[in-house]
């Protein structure tokens, strides 16, 4: 198999895919799975956001954005993963868990993360328009809350950002073509 030109749209990351740069870290391994989840959202024409929750070194839950598919504003990647993780562990408290998410959580998801008592959130790309883990505000580290969450930012940031940029570029192009067709 020729890794110089991978059969995916992320050719600029071929050196990473080929493993030429360095050994993949644990954080990168889990973020890659979150990216795979985000691609599932894209396949449904959803904003490509993916998430995994890890406990004791194992992925216990996966989620991706399904808002339009489910016609439900609560169907964010993080909330879908939290629901699955709670079911898997048999508890709403997800203490000892780490969440890996491709885009900084919004206010709703950040609130759920605090309420679920997740220990750490690892973020791929920051969200300057709606991020609530440091971009717009930080709901994960408010001392007055009963729980604070450790935050790690920028894991596979380029890939996570490219996935979103490419999705929205394609969406704008499709909308422009649809508009042309109706004229």
Which sequence positions are flagged as catalytic? 78
Calpha distance 67→8 (Å, rounded): 26
Nearest to 113 by CA among 68, 81, 69: 81
Nearest to 51 by CA among 70, 72, 69, 30: 30
Residue 160 annotated in ligand binding = no
**Residues 6 or more apart whose Cβ sits within 8 Å of residue 22:** none
Please give the structure tokens belonging to residue 46. 């959803």
Pairing state between β 97-103 and 150-153: unpaired
Share of the chain residues as helix, strand and coil, in percent rounded to the nearest 5: 45, 15, 40
Residue 147 annotated in ligand binding = no
Calpha distance 13→1 (Å, rounded): 16
Residue 15 annotated in ligand binding = no
* DSSP secondary structure of 19-66: T-S-PPPHHHHHHHHHHHHHHHHHHTTS---EEEEEETTEEEEEEE--
Could you list the residues known to form a binding site for Zn(2+), using ranges: 76, 106, 109
Could you list the residues known to form a binding site, using ranges: 76, 106, 109
């Amino acid at each position: 198999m020729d890794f110089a030109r991978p059969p995916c749209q992320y050719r600029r990351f071929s050196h990473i895919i080929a493993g030429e740069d360095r050994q993949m870290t644990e954080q990168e391994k889990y973020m890659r799975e979150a990216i795979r989840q985000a691609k599932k959202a894209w396949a449904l024409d959803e904003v490509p956001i993916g998430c995994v929750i890890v406990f004791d070194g194992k992925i216990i839950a996966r989620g991706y954005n399904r808002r339009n598919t489910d016609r439900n504003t609560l169907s964010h990647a993080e909330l879908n993963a939290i629901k699955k993780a709670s079911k898997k562990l048999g508890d709403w408290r997800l203490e000892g868990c780490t969440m890996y998410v491709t885009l900084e959580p919004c206010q709703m998801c950040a609130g759920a993360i605090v309420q679920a008592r997740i220990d750490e959130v690892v973020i791929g790309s920051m969200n300057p328009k709606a991020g609530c883990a440091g971009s717009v505000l930080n709901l994960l580290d408010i001392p007055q809350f009963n729980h604070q969450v450790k935050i790690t930012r920028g894991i596979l940031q380029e890939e996570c950002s490219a996935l979103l940029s490419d999705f929205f570029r394609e969406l704008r192009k499709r909308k422009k073509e649809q508009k042309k067709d109706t004229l």
